[in-house]
A and B are shown apart, each in its own frame.
Chain A
Amino acid sequence: MPIWNRKLETMEHAELQQLQLESLQTTVNRAYRNVPFYHRKFERLNVAPEDVLSIEDIRKLPFTTKDDLRDGYPYEMFAVPLREIVRIHSSSGAAAKPVVVGYTRNDLKHWAEQTARVMSAAGVTKDDVVQIAFDYGLYTGGFGIHYGAERLGASVIPVSSGNTERQVQIMQDFRSTALVGTPSFALYLAEIMANMGVSAAGLWLRVGLFGGEPMSDKMRSEIETKLGILATDNYGISAVMGPGIAGECELRDGLHVNEDHFLVEIIDPETLEVLGDGEEGELVITTLTKEGLPMLRYRTRDVTRIIRGKCKCGRTMARIAPIRKRTDDMIIVRGVNIYPQEIEDILHEIDNVQPHYQIVIDREHGIDQMTLKVELSLELVTDQMHRLVELEDTIKRRIHSVIGLTPRIRLVEANTLQSKDGAQMVVDNREA
């Protein structure tokens, strides 16, 4: 099994710790010096960069949250002048301010190295034809994987998301051997293939890298059976970098973290205490090499545990368990992150609807469907059909422009969804 960067990925623990200590101190020094947000936080906590004398001393440092990044919209958290930033990505969301991430030339170089490593771990080589079905755009998925696949020397098809029938066609004609995308897209693709009468046996596909949303064991085995591939789970988070933070090797015994670039901790989300290896809690990530947007102790809200010790594949860096839970109310639909609060904010701005709503998520024929039930205000007692249709359209359009996903809308009478105690704002009917 190939290891992309054998020297680093199989490095002795003591050696790795030396590297991590050096990079951590450099990152802390730069964040303190160049990012006013961190400077203020350090002063408030009465810590100085020279208090970080060991890796464990990271516990003295402040956390960074998504709200901090939003408050710093768009460029406040950058540690370099804008002219040194050569790429900008952003999370979706216009209601709440999105998270903007900037990359320097070196950041992009490291990012490609990191995604090359996770792709190599999944068994992708320069001989593969890689179909990248992550969205190319502000979202980090497409471009993030793209440059790693190119670094590997694979033949890259930047097909992006959507247009599924064409993707099946490309997969057949271009002889794609590797697929990269969300697991729900893979299932949808299988569905479309069945409709088109294309069988997995007629494809060249042999491996798939999936990420962007949780992949349950059931989904994984369904994908593997229907597409006839080996499916690996991968982890990335845009605020920290994007894809390439961690990924499974072919043995699929945890996601290998690129620990020379990211320091991972697990905390109790309530007490904020750091938990021991193997204990389940919230994943916290500190970047060790990022220049553009260094991140100290970013709270991912993703729940996992850290697995130490050498993997049978030979890699020595720590692994994290696949992520199945979150500590907040974020839901992921077709790889898109949605916060109920965002939906609520949008509804607030639309006349004649009450911000009482319910989000219902179903999986139909392999694809996630989001239905938004919205209460009409009492004033809009109208039998004019076109007004209701117009209203539905407005809601659809606004939501699509903010979260990038078009929900089905069901207008309901006032006072039927009032969020009393125990009323559910999100009903997720997908099986885990």
Chain B
Amino acid sequence: MLKLQSVMTYYGRIMALRGISLHVDPGEIVAIVGPNGAGKTTALNTISGVLAPKSGRIVFDGKDVAGKPTDSLVDMGLVQVPEGRQLFAGMSVYENLMLGAYRRSSADKKTRLRDDLDRIYQIFPILKERQKQSAGTLSGGEQQMLAIGRALMARPRMLLLDEPSMGLAPLVVKEIFKVIADLRKERKTTVLVVEQNVKAALTVAKRAYVLETGRVVMEGASSELSKNPEIQRAYLGKGYKHMVE
């Protein structure tokens, strides 16, 4: 469904992505994990068209979309949930959700919008309760739910999630990742998730790519990666003693 081939992205003269290649098959949940500054968010922003790659190919649904504007990608069904939620704090929960449907045609909105909203309220009952509240008053977990809900209002076929666990308590993280897993199961939504919380990401994703200094240094099935001693040492907190020795 999504293929990256040797994608390079620069910030000015700094090479942030040093030619990364990855793919996500339809209906798959794939994670990009790695330390801060590895280029994870750059990768997502390059895929979603927020940044333009300097070279390489990005193929979504068989079409080369490298450098295409974000709005046209949303029309194609590729929707990003940005890092730090980026909600409109002064607007209500309902209004934020409606903004997610902004790019949809008016005919489409007329017929299906109400159903879609109901379904999102089903997934996140708390959002229904708070639909009139302004987004800024929500807790961190609720804001993340709203950010995902807003993305779902665009009827995505593929979701790009940037650090959905950021700043959330472990229990809330679990809840968010359960929703991600359910989305795949119930709606066959394909998901590419970027995470620093490697443990959570490897639990929900089938496969993962480990990014370090703009390069993919490991890849494979999550089940294999979570048992990999290097991953355990660097990200999962096991064998920490060895590291400080």
Query: A interface vs B, CB < 8 Å?
Result: 18-19, 21-23, 25-26, 29-30, 33, 49-50, 52-54, 80, 83-84, 105-106, 109, 289, 291
Q: Flag if B3 contacts A25 (CB, 8 Å).
A: no
In the complex, what residues of B have CB within 8 A of residue A23's CB? Answer: 219
Contact of B217 among A21, A33, A84 (CB under 8 A): A33
Identify the closest chain A residue to B20 (Cβ).
A25
Contact of B6 among A53, A83, A84, A105 (CB under 8 A): A53
- Interface flags for B201-220 (1: CB within 8 Å of A; 0: not) read 00000000000000111111
Q: Which of B82-90, B106-114, B223-231 contacts A (4 or more CB under 8 A)?
A: B223-231
Q: How far is the CB of B147 from chain A (nearest CB, A)?
A: 29
> Bound state CA distance, A26 and B55, in angstroms?
18
In the complex, what residues of B have CB within 8 A of residue A84's CB? Answer: 229-230
Q: How far is the CB of B5 from chain A (nearest CB, A)?
A: 6
Q: How far is the CB of A385 from chain B (nearest CB, A)?
A: 60
Count contacts on B: residues with CB < 8 A to the other chain: 24
> Bound state CA distance, A84 and B55, in angstroms?
36
Given A53-B55, A53-B56; A106-B220 close (CB under 8 Å): yes
How many inter-chain residue pairs (CB < 8 Å) link A and B? Answer: 60
Interface majority SS (helix, strand, loop, mixed), chain B: strand
Interface majority SS (helix, strand, loop, mixed), chain A: helix
Q: How far is the CB of A41 from chain B (nearest CB, A)?
A: 18
13 interchain pairs, CB-CB under 8 A: A21-B5, A21-B6, A25-B19, A26-B218, A26-B219, A29-B215, A29-B217, A33-B217, A49-B215, A53-B56, A80-B229, A106-B228, A289-B220
Query: B interface vs A, CB < 8 Å?
Result: 3, 5-6, 8, 15, 18-23, 55-56, 215-220, 224, 227-230
Identify the closest chain B residue to A20 (Cβ).
B21
Shortest 6 CB-CB contacts between residues of A and residues of B? A53-B6, A50-B18, A50-B19, A22-B21, A29-B215, A84-B229
Q: Flag if B56 contacts A26 (CB, 8 Å).
A: no
In the complex, what residues of B have CB within 8 A of residue A50's CB? Answer: 8, 15, 18-19, 215
> Bound state CA distance, A280 and B6, in angstroms?
31
Given A22-B21, A25-B6; A80-B230 close (CB under 8 Å): yes
> Bound state CA distance, A50 and B17, in angstroms?
9
Q: How far is the CB of A48 from chain B (nearest CB, A)?
A: 8
Q: How far is the CB of B220 from chain A (nearest CB, A)?
A: 7
Q: Flag if B218 contacts A22 (CB, 8 Å).
A: no
